[in-house]
Structure 1
Amino acid sequence: MTEILIIGGGYAGFYTAWKLEKRLRPDEAHVTIVDPRPYMTYQPFLPEVVAGSVEPRHVAVSLRKHLHRTRLVAGRVTRLEHATKTATVQPAAGPSFDLHYDIVVVTAGAVTRTFPIPGLLESAIGMKNVEEAVSIRDRLLTAFDRAAVLPRGPERQRLLTVVFVGGGFSGVEGFGEALSLASSLVRRYPELSFDEVAFHLVEAQGRILPEVTDEPGRWVVRHLEERGAHVHLETQLVSAVDGHVVLSSGDEFDSDLIVWTAGNAANPTVAKHTDLPIDARGLLQVRADLRVGTDEAPIPDAWGAGDDAAVPDLASPMPGARTVPNAQHAVRQGKRLAANLVAVVRGEEPREYVHHSLGVVATLGLGHGIFQYKRLVIRGVLAWLMHRGYHVLAVPTWERKIRVLLVWIGAVFGGRDIVSLAATTEPRRAFVAGAGPTVRSADPAEASRTAA
């Protein structure tokens, strides 16, 4: 049978495999996915994970539960040589090995873009994965607990200062949801006042949310500032050494939570470790029908989609436009890629990918949102409800839709869950602390006898 290898189990990779299982007969092809994570992350819900409005597991769609005829390989592709149709895989444990294929689908996704800013890697955290969103929430909740027992001063102010760097959709939504959570938390802490809470959004450009037009973008800035936030436009992060934030505007302050959401970078495997053609940004060169290559020179048996692929945007009036890296495109590209693969396997012609935008919608915190479709702009509670409605329909599988809806319904009656589970990052601390110094200092055999 034809061996189809999918590199990456994110939006585009998951939907490609999911639809291939529905369209291909069992005897037509064998599909393999390589990804270090055993799940697909529904990233539009990560800001709501930060706020505790969605449970972390509910934004992670299990590959093994929903892909029944696909071989799943837990590992990372470190090298792709299409000339020999070989992918080198590095698993989490054990030596690397080679996988051979007939057709390759590259949907590895992008990675968080970083810059050589002093202290950034040591002090900041991203917001691209479930683990990061959970950590941001737990750190914010823990900071309030610690600040509540401290007197007013620099350390208390540091704990109550939050910085988001990057004014795109991911940064603004995460910032708005975290701000909403903090506003709610203050009511539970009589020792604290909201005047002590400082939220800073830092953006290098002169505006935020580039996907919306100028006036809605300015409204979002005013809206966040009215809720007590500080929005720094045309400002860059200069240093974050030991949590001391220095901005290009001259502002300086200490922060216990710095979240970096300043865009995406090309996946290193695609940008540096493949013989497939890439563009100047390190993205895979993809035709409108999602085959790798150019209109004049397609690469046989190689396909690409998602954030690591430069896919022509045939719906855009601008010549040479590429689709933006968002969920709308990744999901639909995965579906189109699967249909095209089935067509090619059966000796038919693939179709070009065309998608007209459904508009953009963003959450800015509980009850706050913005939606824009062409000249139509909706703000406030209605836009927030539209955000929730759209994404609960878009998250894959009915099982996940139902789980998310049940959590939202529960929150209507029970309010926000404000329990921090930060201690789960060190689950053995209580066990070791409870053993006492004598047992901890003894040799293993003596410790066993003492415990007995």
Structure 2
Amino acid sequence: MALIRNSTLRPRILIVGGGYLGLTTARLLLKQLGRGEATVTVVDPNPYMTYQPFLPEVAAGSIEPRHAVVPLRRNLPGAEVITGKVTSIKHADRSAVIEPETGEAFELDYDHIVLAAGSVARTLPIPGLEEEAIGLKRIEEAVALRDHVLSRVAEASLVEDDEERRRLLTIVFVGGGFAGIEGLAELEDMVRDAIAQYDTLTQSDVRFVLVEGMARVMPEVGEAQARWVVEDLRRRGVDVYLETFLQDCTDKHVKLSNGEEFDADTIVWTAGVKANPVLIDSDLPIDERGRLTVRADLQVEDENGVVEGAWGAGDNAAVPDLTGGGVGGFCVPNAQHAVRQAPVLAANVLKALRGGTDFQQYFHKTIGSVAGLGLYQGVSQIGDFEARGVLAWLMHRGYHGAAIPTLDRKKRVFANWIISAILGRDLTPLKDLDVPRKNFVEAAQSKPAPKKEKAS
């Protein structure tokens, strides 16, 4: 393993994670740092930040995939951006081991470390889940889900066997939080449009199933709004099973805790998240859920007090909710908190770098929630104000269209929406994205045509 030490006298701020929190924190630091005052290094497995609230619309074809991501290098001029993984952290030595996308792993020294690695899907040891299901946490998953489902619609249009057609067009979402509800509703809306293009298919051929272990969906909104969402989904033909668990999906044969069994070609897992496991291989303190333990000023804290030079926020940290409204006393892992934690994090790191000690505390009372449920359908709750239908859908698009970082991406997203409103949704699947050389290899392996003998 190569060893890289600081090559300049400038202190290094190492930001682990280039998601919303990492990107925004880095941008604010770069804007406020003096010339030569510090080096900002951002490490992420991807060269871009994914705006996760747009993944359901990417899966439904309403937003071009590249427009839901923000390239890191283009938007962090002056920063050192490394595409790779942080595999271990030794904060006692102020060093981290980084495994780049290509090349040999190396050790990088730092003066301050910011843990903004986000979260990953929280899975359970359910038979068949790892082999058959797909998540909805990454842009690649959203694109693959869209192309897979549209390809199954096309395949089903040529199938004469009713049972096989039903299997191809049965889509199951496990998890009734925001990601699951928005993903299912957007995909259902897209599939209904796609089915209308085939004379051999009817709307009754499609089956959408939502499986949720709790007695309600979307805990971020009130009971009345959650009940309306369930009623709206059922009105659209979705089978909603509450207080029900997925027990098995081996070979895509779904078994539910309510005793129902059926075959489904598409199984989407959106049943919660957990802190990025990068924290496990470190000497930084984590709680029983694998989250970094931090104070309200976003400094890492262990049983002995503040861990100097270590900071954390976002989904991978247990950030105290000073409003008292958070589950278990902590901020819920969502974009609303990440948006507002970044300025506090950047300000406090900058103050610490300059020798200050009077740090800001993060305090934010959740203003509400907005969700899109397909074209012209949505639900929102802002304080005591509740909206449903078109108004809530407009609020959802307005909020997230403004929240995605960079003016460039805002313009592209709004342009997507305008073009789709005029020309309609693009329902063309792209094939073989995971095997782009397939046709070339087949052509190379094909036998040449036999030579014709000349007539004597």
Fold conserved between structures, TM > 0.5: yes
Q: CA deviation at 1:427?
A: 1.5
Is 1:413 paired with 2:419? no
CA distance in 1, matches of 2:303, 2:401: 37
The alignment's TM-score, normalised by the length of structure 1, stands at 0.95
Is 1:218 paired with 2:211? no
2:244 aligned residue (190, 215, 235): 235
Partner of 1:183: 192
Is 1:362 paired with 2:377? no
Q: Is the 8 A contact 2:88 2:98 kept in 1?
A: yes
Classify the secondary structure of the residue corresponding to 2:360.
coil
CA distance in 2, matches of 1:59, 1:295: 40
Partner of 2:361: 352
Partner of 1:432: 441
The amino acid of 1:346's aligned partner reads R
Q: CA deviation at 1:94?
A: 2.6
Is 1:343 paired with 2:343? no
Partner of 2:118: 109
CA distance in 2, matches of 1:46, 1:343: 35
Is 1:292 paired with 2:303? no
CA distance in 1, matches of 2:109, 2:12: 8
Q: Is the 8 A contact 2:84 2:98 kept in 1?
A: yes
Which digits, 9 at most, give the CA deviation of each residue in 1:84-124, with x for residues without a partner?
Answer: 11101112233221111011101111110011111111100
1:197 aligned residue (190, 194, 206): 206
Classify the secondary structure of the residue corresponding to 1:32.
strand
Q: Is the 8 A contact 1:287 1:294 kept in 2?
A: no
CA distance in 2, matches of 1:351, 1:383: 34
Classify the secondary structure of the residue corresponding to 1:54.
coil
Classify the secondary structure of the residue corresponding to 1:400.
helix
Partner of 1:128: 137
Q: Over aligned residue pairs, what C-alpha RMSD do you find?
A: 1.5
**What are the ranges of 5 or more consecutive residues in structure 2 without an aligned counterpart?**
1-9, 449-456
Which range is displaced more, 91-100 or 365-374?
Answer: 91-100
The alignment's TM-score, normalised by the length of structure 2, stands at 0.94
Classify the secondary structure of the residue corresponding to 2:314.
coil
Is 1:162 paired with 2:166? no
Q: Is the 8 A contact 2:285 2:302 kept in 1?
A: no
CA distance in 2, matches of 1:397, 1:92: 26
Partner of 2:40: 31
The amino acid of 2:365's aligned partner reads H
Is 1:394 paired with 2:403? yes
CA distance in 2, matches of 1:295, 1:69: 37
Is 1:174 paired with 2:200? no
Which digits, 9 at most, give the CA deviation of each residue in 1:362-407, with x for residues without a partner?
Answer: 0111111000023221000100010000011000000000011111
CA distance in 2, matches of 1:309, 1:317: 17
Q: CA deviation at 1:27?
A: 1.8
Is 1:385 paired with 2:394? yes
Partner of 2:453: none
CA distance in 2, matches of 1:201, 1:358: 28
Residues paired across the two proteins, number? 439
Q: Is the 8 A contact 2:58 2:143 kept in 1?
A: yes
Classify the secondary structure of the residue corresponding to 1:342.
helix
**What are the ranges of 5 or more consecutive residues in structure 1 without an aligned counterpart?**
440-452
Q: Is the 8 A contact 2:326 2:332 kept in 1?
A: no
Classify the secondary structure of the residue corresponding to 1:365.
coil
Q: Matched residues, percent identical?
A: 51
The amino acid of 1:111's aligned partner reads V
1:60 aligned residue (47, 69, 83): 69
Q: CA deviation at 1:430?
A: 1.8
CA distance in 2, matches of 1:297, 1:180: 51
CA distance in 1, matches of 2:77, 2:193: 43
Q: CA deviation at 1:346?
A: 2.2
Q: Is the 8 A contact 1:135 1:422 kept in 2?
A: no
Q: CA deviation at 1:319?
A: 9.8
Is 1:283 paired with 2:283? no
The amino acid of 2:263's aligned partner reads D
CA distance in 1, matches of 2:36, 2:101: 31
Is 1:330 paired with 2:338? yes
